[in-house]
Amino acid sequence: KNEVEQSPQNLTAQEGEFITINCSYSVGISALHWLQQHPGGGIVSLFMLSSGKKKHGRLIATINIQEKHSSLHITASHPRDSAVYICAVPYNTDKLIFGTGTRLQVFP
Amino acid sequence: AAGVIQSPRHLIKEKRETATLKCYPIPRHDTVYWYQQGPGQDPQFLISFYEKMQSDKGSIPDRFSAQQFSDYHSELNMSSLELGDSALYFCASSLGDWGLGNEQFFGPGTRLTVL
């Protein structure tokens, strides 16, 4: 069993739809990262959160430390949101353990 | 704002050759992490440095070595390259010692292809 699990693995949506990606983890953590990876390969940090909720534009991330669960929401999705979204948790010396990623495709 | 810089961005090598990947962290960041992402794989942690000292080591082959210099940039040296070393190598930097859950900022990656 992976220490970080994401669902769904693949997600397709129509432009404008509300999207939710889920992440569950089994290790004790101080914070959780949501990352975005575009087809070119570069990784962008979207959020780092340790409690509650954070919002940046159309992106919202929530975390429940007790339940070891986090969600990433995208409101009013757009084709440019198409990417792989990765949940990652720092472990031990803060090295990141990555989830398997959720591949999102948003169609016009 | 300055970001993490990695060079080269692309590298093609033959089997058994050596390669050196460089990472320049965000100014004032003192911690560097190296990750390897094989084709269709999740990134995997290789090694990290804090204040020029190795702070953690993951699944890094003995053929690989790394160090962090006085200006905090880091180099990953890879020898006797194998086909399986073909991957995207990411460097990330953060500020402060581990255990604080410091945010990591990623470089664009170096895509290594071993022929």
Condensed to tens digits (0 to 9), the pLDDT of residues A79-97 reads 999 999 999 998 876 788 9
Cα separation, A79 vs A83, whole angstroms: 9
Ranges of chain B with pLDDT below 70: 1, 97-101
Which pLDDT score, from 0 to 100, does residue B35 have?
96
Which pLDDT score, from 0 to 100, does residue A73 have?
98
Dihedral sign computed on CA atoms, order B38, B59, A90, B8? negative
Which pLDDT score, from 0 to 100, does residue B99 have?
57
Which of chain B's residues have a Cβ under 8 Å away from the Cβ of A41? 37, 88, 108-109, 111
B56: nearest Cα among B99, B109, B17: B99
Which of chain A's residues have a Cβ under 8 Å away from the Cβ of B44? 98
Residues 6+ apart with CB under 8 A from A40: none
- CB-closest option in A42, A45, A95 to B33: A95
CA distance to partner chain B, nearest, from residue A107 (Å): 23
Do B94 and A93 make contact, defined as CB atoms within 8 angstroms? no
- Can you state the percent helix, strand and coil of chain A, rounding each to 5? 5, 60, 35
| Residues B48, B31 contacting (CB under 8 angstroms) | yes
A70: nearest Cα among A60, A80, A83, A79: A60
Do B45 and A95 make contact, defined as CB atoms within 8 angstroms? yes
Which pLDDT score, from 0 to 100, does residue B81 have?
97
Which pLDDT score, from 0 to 100, does residue B100 have?
58
Ranges of chain A with pLDDT below 50: none
Distances (CA, A) of A24 to A21, A32, A99, B60: 10, 10, 9, 26
Which of chain A's residues have a Cβ under 8 Å away from the Cβ of B45? 95-97
Residues 6+ apart with CB under 8 A from A67: none
Cα separation, A48 vs B5, whole angstroms: 21
Which pLDDT score, from 0 to 100, does residue B101 have?
62
Residue A100 amino acid letter: T
Q: And the tokens for B70?
A: 């006085």
Which of chain B's residues have a Cβ under 8 Å away from the Cβ of A29? 101
Cα separation, B30 vs B28, whole angstroms: 6
